[in-house]
Amino acid sequence: MGRTVHTCSVCEKSDAGLRQPFESCSRCNSQTYCSQECFESDWKSHRKTCGASILDRMSEPQRNFYRTLMPDDFLHACPEKDVYDMLDDCFFLRIADHYCFTDVKRAQGGNMTKFQDFLDLAEERAGLLPPWWSARKRRECEKTARETARMAPGSEDYDTKDFVVDHALIHAYKDYNIPMKLRLLAEKIYGSRATPEW
């Protein structure tokens, strides 16, 4: 059985007969591109739909499957260190998505202050954080986050060089679904699928 033939979403060139198939958008897989140039020329218009919740584009059975990846008590079964790391990565993945899906090219303000606001929101979501979560555990989570390069002194204004990217998360967690899980966690915490205004 032969592989599926793809057509570039921009120039409509086909990958039939080529050794390697065209690449799809790494975030939504809905658009296919023959080159980086075609991707870049389409990004301004594509990012508007790509930034929408992936769940919105799924059938009900597919949505139910992904909801099982991120039930409200997902963090309850995770080790303490993993909870801290996931909250930190979730926060910075949301910042990266905000950068990609809006015209904001540089965010200003304290990373730690924004992370603390993020934790405030997480604490407001009943049943989201593990039962062992407390003011002391929150301080430990903030300490863990503060020790990352992304929270280092001088990182008050940040650009894309230290952003969390999907492939790095997949490698770190050894889980192909972790970018989706963290995005779903961010939606639960922020209460919206759209990236917040900074």
Secondary structure (H, E, C), 122-135: HHHCCCCCCCCCCH
Closest CA relative to residue 92, chosen from 194, 179, 191, 171: 179
pLDDT bin (cut points 50, 70, 90) of residue 15 is: confident
**Which one has a higher pLDDT value, 60 or 144?**
144
**Which one has a higher pLDDT value, 35 or 57?**
35
What does the pLDDT average to over 30-54? 75
Closest CA relative to residue 100, chosen from 185, 26, 173, 172: 26
Q: How many of the other CB atoms lie within 10 Å of CB of 144?
A: 17
Taking the C-alpha atoms of 75, 134, 148 and 158 in order, what is their torsion angle to the nearest 10 degrees? Answer: 90
Distance CA 119, CA 56 (A): 26
The pTM of the full predicted model, rounded to 2 decimals, is 0.65
pLDDT at 68 over 50: yes
- Out of 26-40, 136-150, 179-193, least confident range: 26-40
Strands 23-24, 32-33: parallel, antiparallel or unpaired by DSSP? antiparallel
Could you read off the pLDDT of 71-127 as tens digits, one per residue? 888 899 999 999 999 999 998 888 877 777 666 655 555 578 888 999 999 999 999
Q: Locate all alpha helices (DSSP H) within 3-105, ordered by sequence.
A: 36-50, 60-69, 80-101
Distance CA 154, CA 174 (A): 31
